């Protein structure tokens, strides 16, 4: 386990993590990232089932992707929501995801980058 | 290429579905359906500029599109690659066309500071937090800034407490710093009690490290080495993620002894609350953490002088803490540049009630209620008319149509007879009876009053009884004056914030919707048709064909009549359940 010994150490560690996540040599670089928003609102609408379904189906269909469990985005009216980031592309958020929709997202968007109904546009600015 | 058509309620009302269909037809007419996907999206949050059509990957956005524009968009943009100029948004300053989403950023109503990492990072993995600048502000404060420098930055930023009171955070920290003691405490108030508010929960579930880091920064400023998070046990997921976050931070040396080798030590523990509303009040919260009854005590002494176990204690809300790290990293001027003259930064609101886009939003202070409800919130459900919005939960008041263009900040809300509270925003439409709304909130306060002081314990109970009488048609005009007088006395004489603010919903509905109260007490009618005791169901004889459907569905057999002859409802038996009206196919049953 890493212990951070100074603020400089923290900065180096941050660079290390970023390199691991996004760096050119990293194994994660070329992979699709899927964020399943699993806060209370998301989970209450079935985010856990969607998460399990996606993990299972990606494995079945031989798609190498990273699935990340996060908190909620705040789109309570459209839960469960998931965000898909294809390599070198802007993230796209899908709302009201059920298993049928998740299947469509995998087949059309994750595999081929084809858009499907139910995209939630980013309607905010953020400081990151 | 993809064509995205907004399918939010605002745009759908302006026939975005027809635009979607026309675009699909045009794409097919040009035999492009294999290359171009036309899809429906959620709300873009710019409903007044809708319907909105976006072309990807060109990142071009068209506004106020009509379905007759479909051909031009496909023929010009999709086929020839030429933008349809007249549908682009113009910069109001230089009249230049704005094309990409990036250029349109200025038009976006929301700005995420508190919610910056929610839905972005994995809250159970500290490395993701660190990758998003987690603990960088703590490192900066510990090595480059003195506690006084840090407090000055927070003061200059103009950050005010987000829990409801709006007290300047920097000043609070300064007072706690000045009070010398062998032990001090930093407390995070995560006892989110307003019905409909859930921003603190979302922050703790989505970005717990932001709160831990800010608590450590506060500890450094006021010279405390112990932090306590008071959270209600009914937030199990937030509790679990906080626990994980705390143990990970300890493992990485970001909490505990000698943080980042600087000699500063700070550790955090969780304290559970049982979900009592009054425990959001800081003195009651502290008593609850001490194992005593969750009852408030008179201030002074303020917690900054004698708080947890009699030691100086600084209590801040989750959302307040979540603002701290960005202020340290980006500077006081950056934060002070957002918002209005006396309310800086952003505020998270939980939109609930009769609004289309229910959920969390974060807007700069000073955003108008109209923008919040009709642009970001997507308007009122089912195209109904906006009536009022309750801010500040059971302690707040309602804002009406005349307040729609008031910039929302701490001071304007108080001037409008409401308050910021923790940021719950419950929207009501024309079908809501304001007397019942006031009664609903009093229901809550009567239930949650701790009973320590009589104005709150007895006064609110009496207020509730009066309202109950009025909704049952037993009120008089004199009752309205009695309501007001009693409210003012309760506000003046209650011990803590709960009682001092609990009559607010009554006062503000009385001020804004007096005619509705008058209708209840004089004409004994509920204009919104909500108060059951003031309604009566009738059968219009001309419309009734005597099908007997209503008589069969009536649970109390209040409807009688011969087959194929008009029926009648016996009002003394009728329980006003409305089942007959729902069943009648001939519009023969009306409510009065």
Q: Does A44 touch chain B (CB under 8 A)?
A: no
* Per-residue pLDDT tens over the stretch B510-533: 999 999 999 999 999 888 888 888
Task: Measure Cα distances from B307 to B277, B290, B450, B522 in Å.
Answer: 19, 10, 20, 51
Query: At B404, is the secondary structure helix, strand, or coil?
Result: coil
Are B123 and A75 a contacting pair at CB < 8 A? Answer: no
Residues of A in contact with B117 (CB under 8 A): 71, 128
Q: Does B358 touch chain A (CB under 8 A)?
A: yes
Distance CA B201, CA B191 (A): 9
Are B139 and A13 a contacting pair at CB < 8 A? Answer: no
Are B119 and A74 a contacting pair at CB < 8 A? Answer: yes
Among B1, B8, B36, B41, which would you mutate to test the A interface (most chain A Cβ atoms within 10 Å of its Cβ)?
A: B41
Q: Does B32 touch chain A (CB under 8 A)?
A: no
Q: Which residue has the higher pLDDT, A21 or B116?
A: B116
Q: Are residues B161 and B241 in the same domain?
A: yes
**Residues in contact with B409: Cβ distance below 8 Å, sequence separation at least 6, in sequence order:** B339, B340, B342, B343, B365, B366, B420
Are A123 and B108 a contacting pair at CB < 8 A? Answer: yes
* Per-residue pLDDT tens over the stretch B179-233: 999 999 999 999 998 888 899 999 999 999 999 999 999 999 999 999 999 999 9
Judge contact between B486 and B463, C-beta under 8 A. yes
For A:50-109, CB contacts with B below 8 A are 68-78, 81, 83, 95
Are A115 and B40 a contacting pair at CB < 8 A? Answer: no
Q: Does B127 touch chain A (CB under 8 A)?
A: yes
Which residue, of B488, B523, B558, is where some domain finishes?
B523
What average pLDDT score do residues A91-108 get? Answer: 94
Q: What is the pLDDT of residue B157?
A: 96
pLDDT-derived band at B577, boundaries 50, 70, 90: confident
Residue A60 has pLDDT above 90, yes or no: yes
A47-51, B137-141, B343-347, B537-541: segment of lowest average pLDDT: B537-541
pLDDT-derived band at B246, boundaries 50, 70, 90: very high
Residues of A in contact with B262 (CB under 8 A): 6-7
Query: At B188, is the secondary structure helix, strand, or coil?
Result: strand
Are B357 and A7 a contacting pair at CB < 8 A? Answer: no
Are A127 and B116 a contacting pair at CB < 8 A? Answer: yes
Q: Are residues B466 and B353 in the same domain?
A: no
Q: pTM to 2 decimals?
A: 0.89
**Residue B507 belongs to a domain with what CATH number?**
1.20.1440.230
Q: Are residues B467 and B362 in the same domain?
A: no
Q: Determine, yes or no, domain membership for B288.
A: yes
Q: H or E stretch including B310?
A: none
Average pLDDT, chain B: 91
**Residue B570 belongs to a domain with what CATH number?**
3.30.70.20
Q: Are residues B351 and B321 in the same domain?
A: no
Q: Are residues B495 and B465 in the same domain?
A: yes
> How near does any CA of chain A get to the CA of B415, in Å?
29
Distance CA B536, CA B568 (A): 12
Name the most confidently modeled range: B35-39, B172-176, B294-298.
Answer: B172-176
Q: Are residues B392 and B491 in the same domain?
A: no
Residue B216 DSSP class: H
Q: Does A120 touch chain B (CB under 8 A)?
A: yes
Residue B150 has pLDDT above 80, yes or no: yes
Runs of H (alpha helix) within B449-566: 454, 460-471, 477-493, 497-501, 504-512, 514-518, 549-553
* Per-residue pLDDT tens over the stretch B166-180: 899 999 999 999 999
Q: What is the pLDDT of residue B334?
A: 96
Q: Where are the domains of chain A?
A: 29-120
> How near does any CA of chain B get to the CA of A63, in Å?
21
* Per-residue pLDDT tens over the stretch B95-140: 777 766 666 666 788 999 999 999 999 999 999 999 999 999 999 9
Are B121 and A6 a contacting pair at CB < 8 A? Answer: no
Distance CA B104, CA B502 (A): 42
Q: What is the pLDDT of residue B104?
A: 67
Distance CA A123, CA B377 (A): 11
Q: Are residues B315 and B351 in the same domain?
A: no
> How near does any CA of chain A get to the CA of B520, in Å?
35
What average pLDDT score do residues B280-287 get? Answer: 94
Residues of B in contact with A121 (CB under 8 A): 4, 6, 41-45, 54
Q: What is the pLDDT of residue B578?
A: 85
Are A128 and B117 a contacting pair at CB < 8 A? Answer: yes
Encoded tokens for B156? 């200059």
Q: Are residues B469 and B402 in the same domain?
A: no
Judge contact between B423 and B161, C-beta under 8 A. no
What average pLDDT score do residues B534-557 get? Answer: 90
Judge contact between A61 and A108, C-beta under 8 A. no
Domain span holding position B462: 434-523
Per the rule left: phi > 0, alpha: psi between -120 and 50, beta: everything else, B59 is left
For the domain made up of A29-120, the CATH class stated in words is: alpha beta
- Domains in chain B, number: 5
Of A11, A118, A124, the CB nearest to B112: A124
Nearest CA in chain B to A120: B42
What average pLDDT score do residues B440-464 get? Answer: 94
Task: Measure Cα distances from B275 to B20, B25, B149, B317, B531 in Å.
Answer: 47, 55, 37, 16, 30
Task: Measure Cα distances from B454 to B221, B451, B462, B498 in Å.
Answer: 39, 7, 11, 13
Which residue, of B429, B458, B481, is where some domain finishes?
B429
Q: Are residues B170 and B38 in the same domain?
A: no
Q: Does B191 touch chain A (CB under 8 A)?
A: no
Q: Are residues B387 and B356 in the same domain?
A: yes
Which residue, of B381, B410, B429, is where some domain finishes?
B429
Are B142 and A13 a contacting pair at CB < 8 A? Answer: no
> How near does any CA of chain B get to the CA of A53, in Å?
19
**Residues in contact with B511: Cβ distance below 8 Å, sequence separation at least 6, in sequence order:** B417
Query: At B314, is the secondary structure helix, strand, or coil?
Result: strand
Share of chain B above pLDDT 90, in %: 66
* Per-residue pLDDT tens over the stretch B456-504: 999 999 999 999 999 999 999 999 999 999 999 999 999 988 999 999 9
Q: Determine, yes or no, domain membership for B114.
A: no
Q: What is the pLDDT of residue B103?
A: 66
pLDDT-derived band at B354, boundaries 50, 70, 90: very high
The angle subtended at Cα B521 by Cα B515 and Cα B524, nearest 5°, is 100
Q: What is the 3-state secondary structure (H, E, C) of B343-396?
A: CECEEEEEEEECECCCEEEEEECCCEHHHHHHHHCCCEHHHCCEEEEEECHHHC
What average pLDDT score do residues B557-579 get? Answer: 90
Residues of B in contact with A2 (CB under 8 A): 252
Distance CA B456, CA A85 (A): 53
Residue A1 has pLDDT above 70, yes or no: no
Q: Are residues B160 and B244 in the same domain?
A: yes
What average pLDDT score do residues B152-162 get? Answer: 96
What residues are paired with B270 via a beta bridge?
Answer: B229
Instruction: With CA atoms as reference, report the closest residue to B403 among B393, B392, B390, B394.
Output: B390
Give the position of tokens 């923790």: B422
Distance CA B527, CA B533 (A): 13
């Amino acid at each position: 386990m890493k212990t951070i010994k100074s603020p400089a150490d923290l900065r180096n560690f941050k660079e290390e993590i970023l390199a691991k996540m996004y760096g050119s040599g990293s194994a994660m670089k070329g992979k699709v990232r899927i964020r399943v928003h699993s806060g209370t609102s998301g989970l209450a609408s079935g985010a856990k089932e969607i998460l399990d379904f996606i993990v299972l189906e990606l494995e079945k269909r031989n798609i190498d992707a990273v699935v990340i469990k996060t908190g909620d985005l705040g789109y309570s009216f459209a839960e469960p929501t998931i965000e898909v980031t294809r390599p070198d592309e802007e993230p796209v958020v899908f709302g009201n995801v059920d298993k049928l929709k998740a299947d469509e997202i995998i087949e059309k968007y994750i595999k081929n980058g084809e858009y499907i109904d139910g995209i939630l546009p980013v309607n905010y600015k953020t400081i990151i | 290429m993809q064509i995205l058509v907004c399918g939010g309620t605002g745009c759908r009302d302006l026939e975005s579905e027809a635009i979607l269909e026309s675009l699909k037809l045009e794409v097919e007419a040009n035999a492009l359906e294999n290359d171009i996907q036309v899809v429906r999206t959620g709300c873009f949050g710019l409903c007044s500029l809708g319907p909105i059509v976006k072309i990807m990957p060109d990142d071009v956005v068209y506004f106020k599109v009509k379905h007759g524009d479909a051909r031009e968009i496909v023929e010009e943009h999709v086929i020839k690659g030429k933008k349809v100029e007249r549908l682009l948004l113009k910069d109001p300053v230089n009249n230049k066309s704005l094309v990409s989403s990036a250029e349109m950023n200025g038009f976006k109503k929301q700005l995420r500071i508190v919610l910056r990492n929610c839905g972005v990072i994995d809250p159970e993995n500290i490395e993701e937090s660190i990758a998003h600048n987690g603990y960088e502000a703590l490192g900066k404060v510990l090595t480059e800034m003195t506690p006084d420098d840090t407090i000055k930055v927070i003061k200059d930023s103009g950050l005010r407490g987000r829990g409801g009171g709006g007290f300047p955070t920097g000043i609070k920290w300064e007072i706690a710093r000045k009070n010398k003691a062998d032990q001090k405490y930093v407390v995070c108030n995560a006892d989110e009690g307003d019905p409909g508010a859930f921003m603190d929960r979302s922050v703790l579930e989505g970005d717990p490290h932001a709160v831990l880091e800010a608590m450590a920064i506060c500890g450094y400023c006021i010279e405390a080495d112990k932090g306590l998070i008071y959270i209600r046990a009914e937030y199990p997921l937030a509790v679990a993620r906080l626990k994980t976050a705390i143990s990970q931070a300890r493992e990485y040396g970001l909490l505990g002894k000698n943080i980042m080798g600087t000699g500063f030590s700070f550790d955090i523990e969780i304290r559970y609350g049982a979900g009592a509303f009054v425990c959001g009040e800081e003195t009651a919260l502290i008593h609850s953490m001490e194992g005593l009854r969750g009852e408030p005590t008179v201030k002074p002494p303020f917690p900054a002088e004698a708080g947890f176990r009699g030691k100086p204690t600084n209590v801040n809300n989750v959302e307040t803490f979540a603002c701290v790290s960005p202020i340290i990293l980006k500077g006081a001027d950056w934060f002070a540049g957002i918002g209005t003259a006396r309310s800086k930064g952003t505020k998270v609101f939980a939109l609930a009630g009769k609004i289309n886009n229910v959920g969390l939003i974060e807007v700069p202070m000073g955003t108008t209620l109209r923008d919040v409800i009709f642009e970001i919130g997507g308007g009122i459900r089912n195209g109904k008319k906006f009536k009022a919005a309750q801010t500040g939960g059971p302690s707040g008041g309602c804002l009406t149509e005349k307040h729609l263009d008031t910039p929302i900040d701490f001071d304007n809300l108080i001037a409008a007879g409401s308050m910021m509270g923790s940021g719950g925003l419950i929207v009501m439409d024309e079908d809501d009876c304001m007397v019942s709304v006031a009664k609903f909130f009093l229901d809550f306060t009567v239930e949650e009053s701790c009973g320590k002081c009589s104005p709150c314990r007895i006064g609110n109970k009496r207020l509730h009884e009066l309202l109950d009488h009025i909704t049952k048609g037993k009120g008089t005009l004199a009752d309205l004056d009695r309501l007001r007088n009693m409210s003012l006395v309760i506000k003046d004489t209650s011990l803590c914030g709960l009682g001092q603010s609990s009559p607010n919903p009554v006062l503000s509905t009385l001020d804004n919707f007096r005619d509705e109260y008058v209708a209840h007490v004089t004409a004994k009618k509920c204009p919104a048709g909500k108060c059951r005791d003031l309604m009566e169901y009738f059968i219009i004889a001309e419309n009734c064909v005597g099908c007997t459907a209503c008589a069969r569905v009536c649970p109390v057999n209040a409807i009688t009549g011969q087959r194929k002859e008009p029926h009648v409802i016996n009002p003394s038996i009728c329980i006003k359940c409305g089942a007959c009206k729902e069943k009648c196919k001939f519009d023969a049953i009306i409510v009065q």
